[in-house]
């Protein structure tokens, strides 16, 4: 499900089962990440699938990338793998108004 930044943040903050997932490359994440994000690069192909499959499917995943395109794809892949609650951040980190921290 695609969410605006405002909805993504308010839903995440109210969600005790939330996990933030950053699917950008290592070079991109070096510029800063959203606090407490797990980093799994979608460009890793099968490595990405393997790392995703190791995650808890009972959690709710708030996914982002640079612009929202790769994270939308990541949500699709996760849904196919049996994750029911994935939320894509529309606009990605380039439109993020919140704080970022070092990875």
Q: What is the rounded average pLDDT of the residues 62-70?
A: 98
C-alpha distances in Å from residue 57, one per residue of 36, 79, 86, 93, 101:
18, 10, 10, 24, 26
Per-residue pLDDT of 90-102, as tens digits, reads 999 999 999 999 9
- pLDDT over 70 for what percent of the chain? 100
pTM over 0.95: yes
pLDDT of 51: 98
| Residues with a known catalytic role | 65
Q: What is the pLDDT of residue 71?
A: 98
Helix (H, G, I), strand (E, B) or coil at 10: helix
- In the predicted model, what is the mean pLDDT of residues 57-64? 98
What's the mean per-residue pLDDT of the chain?
Answer: 97
Return the domain boundaries, the chain. 2-57+66-95
Which pairs from 36-40 meet CB under 8 Å and 24+ separation? 37/64, 39/103
Domain 2-57+66-95, CATH homologous superfamily name and number: Rhodanese-like domain (3.40.250.10)
């Amino acid at each position: 499900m695609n969410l605006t930044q405002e909805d993504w943040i308010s839903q995440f903050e109210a969600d005790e089962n939330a996990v933030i997932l950053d699917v950008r490359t290592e070079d991109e994440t070096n510029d800063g990440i959203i606090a407490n994000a797990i980093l799994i690069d979608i460009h890793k192909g099968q490595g990405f699938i393997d790392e995703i499959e190791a995650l808890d499917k009972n959690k709710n995943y708030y996914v982002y990338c640079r612009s929202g395109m790769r994270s939308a794809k990541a949500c699709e892949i996760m849904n196919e793998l049996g994750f029911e609650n994935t939320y894509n951040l529309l606009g990605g980190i380039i439109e993020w108004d919140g704080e970022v921290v070092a990875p």
